[in-house]
Amino acid sequence: MILTAGITGFWILSLLTLDGAELGVGQRNSLNEPDVPFPPACPTAENLAAICHHGHGRPRYPPSFFPKSGASHFRRCGNAINRLESWYSVCCSGQVAQQSSHILCCAQQAWRQALSQFCVDEYATMTVPYECCEDRGEARWTCFNTDVPNPFYTPTLGYTAPSLPQEPGFTFNLNAC
């Protein structure tokens, strides 16, 4: 009798431990949704060097990253990040300008344009749009830059981004700086 109670207690404790382990930080949730840290932070003087020098160390989201069905919101988030990283490479390449103030202005334009396109993509679906997309003007940008998961664009250790095609659609406007 004591042996049976001990084994039963062991199994209950084991199941509770395994159930609690799934609640850990950084793991997929109970719906097994992809981990796409979103939204990206607005470029600033403090994070510009990391944006330009550690771009290949931040995740990209090729189609193979996502499950074959579902996860469309996460796919749109991943596409926005891919687009933004592609456009950051344009800003940081030296083709834009030689002054860091122009590079920062370019990166900020890329950030706003990539997130604007994300909102267009969000509204093109039959789902509830991302909450920041409902805001207009500066409120939208403030919303997108609140509670960002990686404000300093820290690279992921041991990660090298796969080559993805350059995203079309971005042209830096120096006159808007």
pLDDT, tens digit (0-9, with 9 covering 90-100), for 34-67? 899 999 999 999 999 999 999 999 999 999 999 8
Point out the least confidently predicted range of 48-52, 65-69, 77-81, 155-159: 65-69
Instruction: Report how far apart, in Å, the C-alpha atoms of 118 and of each of 21, 33, 47, 131 are.
Output: 34, 19, 22, 12
* Count of CA atoms in the C-beta half-sphere (13 A) of 173: 9
Domain boundaries defined on the chain: 39-176
Answer for the pair 108, 42: CB distance below 8 angstroms, yes or no. yes
pLDDT of residue 11: 36
